[in-house]
Structure 1
């Protein structure tokens, strides 16, 4: 993908243009709404995340999309090293290539410093401007920036982000949980975007898609537990998963941590995305979602062999 006037080199038609999309609701994970029709080998992807680690983002990408993109940038506040030098909070935001991968990490300290975040995003977009690839910028949760900086400053940041991305021929997807703000704040952001998608509604999944979701043994385990229990805390669910996976009554801390991370960052969000479970973040409780998924239908799918078998 080239610069704003380089349609020929990018393979785009002259009348195509980048799109800015606001996703209302849904989980931070990559679903079809956050990463539509991507060809990873021909795409640059920049993820901006306050809460998620590099590992969580990469595992999430592999789960939903598959192969990593040609260039993968991550701006995160979850892995800021407070023992780092002063350059981590002043000057140009430092970028760290991760050994043995095409991933570049920018660690940030203060989500209220939107000017610095804008600089970090621009550095990636400028580097990718002359590549023969598509570019996607994905902000996985806008609410932390609104909380830290207020709606007005966040509006200004989004305006500049969408404008810069448009000039550099990049698509933008921003996810915002409308339950974290009043209607006035949500409506303030709407005009900045080409599309506003309500991701709070459950998509209609056909039988093949449902089988694909339930082709993972960990997700099957979650649903089997919930069929017997009205709801369960995520920590208890992780403990039960660690016991089951390792065939022991006393899993080690490492075994528990692996189970908890997988559930919290991948499997519970994926099940919630398709409307099979509901996750209450304040209490960290998981339950079967209300809807059209009958116990009989779930049990029928759970009795078929999984992809992991």
Structure 2
């Protein structure tokens, strides 16, 4: 109970309208590209989520996992602001119980990075105040997921995907709708009350030759792809985060992303630019550089 002499007990000043924190956020616009790209949602109705709109992006959070199942951001490449300083600090979203968010306790005194799901600069476009607000909004714990802290070529590839796609695949209007999230699997290793995802996914949608197109990607930070998860994680030390490997970035069929995540990706599997091959060894294309990405139907 709030004491009667607390400033919060008095409520808003006379003549003002109280607005809850973040109540004015419009979130992701599914019509941003001119054709509908719906917000990704779990395809299984028993999976509970909370939809949290921010500035130019939305987080679909799974309270049971304390992190996002998916995020979706609108990127206007022609209106991006390049020099917005990284001065914000991470914070809880006040619209959601802290018990349903993975806060700093997960990342304290260990080797885990707070990985932005919606990349910090992706929604930072428009008027200065709007862009600054978008930058601040990306620093909510709802937009973070634990990632390996070591910087490597695979991580560089992953972090630069949106820039590459804006420059080479967006049919001159330089707009993207980017859907991203962790692959939340029941076998993910637990750490400090949170299961740490070993893979992440991304699907980019854009217009190509006037029609909707999409490409899909998976980032793998599991310790060793040649061994099963149980053996790969056998070297974990008590009280330490699970061992994570160097990032490996793959271009994959969008349909595989939908199956891997049990998310409804709407029309995007049907407009995928990557041909689906039958041979499993060829189905996922490991990227050594952005030049390896398939952006035209063969």
User: TM-score, length-normalised on structure 1?
Assistant: 0.23
Looking at both structures, which has the greater relative contact order when contacts are Cα pairs under 8 Å and sequence separation is at least 6?
A: 1
User: TM-score, length-normalised on structure 2?
Assistant: 0.23
Decide which structure has greater helix share.
1
Decide which structure has greater strand share.
2
